[in-house]
Amino acid sequence: MASSRQDEEVQSTNDDAVNSKFSAVKLGYWQDPYIQFFSKFSSAIDRKPPELNRGYYARVKGVEYLLKQFLKKTDLKCQVVNLGAGSDTRFWLLSDQNLVPLKWVELDFEPVVNKKIRIIKSKKSLMCKLQANNHDGSSDSIPDVQIKPTEIHSNIYHIVSCDLRDVCQFKSCIDRCSIDCTIPTAFICECVFIYMDPHSSSCLVRTISEMFSDIFFINYEQVNMNDRFGEVMLSNLQNRGCALLGVQHCLNFQTQFDRFLKCGWNGIDGGDMLQIYHGLPQDDVQRIEKIEFLDDIEMLTQLFTHYCIVWAYKHSTKNTTTTTATAAAATTTTNAVTDFSTVTNDISTIPVSSIAKSIAAATTSATTAVTTNITTSTSLLDDSGHSSSGSGSSSGGVVVSQLSGKLDFSDISLFIYK
């Protein structure tokens, strides 16, 4: 396990995140009246460069679009767990839009949680949302809010300190928040796994897939780290005492996808931030592009192509039957209740293009990798650990999974590169 000096550096990345978000919010990239409470950012000197503001805009909006689709698809009868939540303010933003799920849980290291709790306690507009949220809409019973230095438990909102490298701790935190593992649950993980060694993040991903029946996972992280730009990013952070221990999962889309597919997940998709940015509502993109002049498009492109959002899902797999195929489609049927395969960043632009564009943007070996990955994913469903399809069989219609009674072939295109 990493030293506590290393842990402190990792915790301080939350300050960077919150200050950068506040920089962008102050300029009008998006609305967030709550972020100011968590930021020490004050003067114009701290103003972030335009490419960073655009980067945060794409990240915040990309995750938000995915999460909102999940919330709508489940009709809010769901739970959200934010891993390494830091000073994330989404709970309050969603409360303002009446989009709160049954449970909202935030986990992070103790010092980060401790600080967040102190701020929550001191701000009426944050506290009142914890008290106001009665999911059934009733107003007569004011729910209790239990506040301790390292955890808050209210009717919906929970925050608990947890070292995510320790799965026993994770399980006990989930228990303390009265999470029901049979209810559809979304996990958000923004820039967190990169600071954990690959074994720990894989263990956590596997534990989640074993504990929960219907899960949707949104992971924002580095990708394409196998080049010069990636090397420079690594050494800059290393010099600061903050090693990117999880970089092995961030070499390309195959390594990103494998973390999930090797740990029992049924379906996966993703795109680099350039694709996500182009997939966001373009009227809003045009609006934010007018906020600041950006002369270094090359730098923005470099940044965008080294970060990604990957989203994975797993449904309960009672009665799972897997048919891996050579030319014909491989089909997995499950009796899951909710089909998350249609939850994507922007259905019109992301699905096929996400894979296709990532292949185009990546190296030749990565092209093989993504194709192989899709093929492998089907065989991983039966835990064989080996691909039984011929290589490059993407045109053979390989499907990660479909749900019985809900077969919708338009969904298949999410997972096929042609």
Residues of the shown chain interacting with ligand SAM in the complex, contacts defined by CB under 6 A: 10-11, 13-14, 17, 84-86, 88, 108-109, 112, 162-165, 190-192, 195-196
Does residue 416 contact residue 399 with C-beta atoms inside 8 Å? Answer: yes
The least distance separating ligand SAM from the CB of residue 233, rounded to whole angstroms, comes to 13
Using the minimum distance from each CB to ligand SAM, give the nearer residue, 86 or 351: 86
Using the minimum distance from each CB to ligand SAM, give the nearer residue, 162 or 355: 162
The least distance separating ligand SAM from the CB of residue 378, rounded to whole angstroms, comes to 32
Structure token pair of residue 374: 């899709």
Using the minimum distance from each CB to ligand SAM, give the nearer residue, 64 or 214: 64
Using the minimum distance from each CB to ligand SAM, give the nearer residue, 6 or 404: 6
Using the minimum distance from each CB to ligand SAM, give the nearer residue, 185 or 379: 185
Cβ-count burial of 98 within 10 angstroms (0-12 exposed, 13-18 middle, 19+ buried)? exposed
Does residue 342 contact residue 348 with C-beta atoms inside 8 Å? Answer: no
CA dist list (Å): 158 to 105, 178, 252, 267, 365: 5, 9, 34, 28, 44
* 151 bridge partner residues: 148, 160
CA dist list (Å): 397 to 150, 232, 236, 255, 338: 49, 39, 42, 22, 23
The least distance separating ligand SAM from the CB of residue 309, rounded to whole angstroms, comes to 12
Using the minimum distance from each CB to ligand SAM, give the nearer residue, 79 or 213: 79
Spacing of C-alpha 223 from chain mean position: 13
The least distance separating ligand SAM from the CB of residue 57, rounded to whole angstroms, comes to 13
Using the minimum distance from each CB to ligand SAM, give the nearer residue, 211 or 347: 211
Using the minimum distance from each CB to ligand SAM, give the nearer residue, 119 or 360: 119
The least distance separating ligand SAM from the CB of residue 16, rounded to whole angstroms, comes to 7
The least distance separating ligand SAM from the CB of residue 194, rounded to whole angstroms, comes to 8
The least distance separating ligand SAM from the CB of residue 346, rounded to whole angstroms, comes to 20
The least distance separating ligand SAM from the CB of residue 242, rounded to whole angstroms, comes to 10
d(CA 27, CA 53) in angstroms, rounded, equals 9
d(CA 31, CA 28) in angstroms, rounded, equals 7
d(CA 73, CA 390) in angstroms, rounded, equals 35
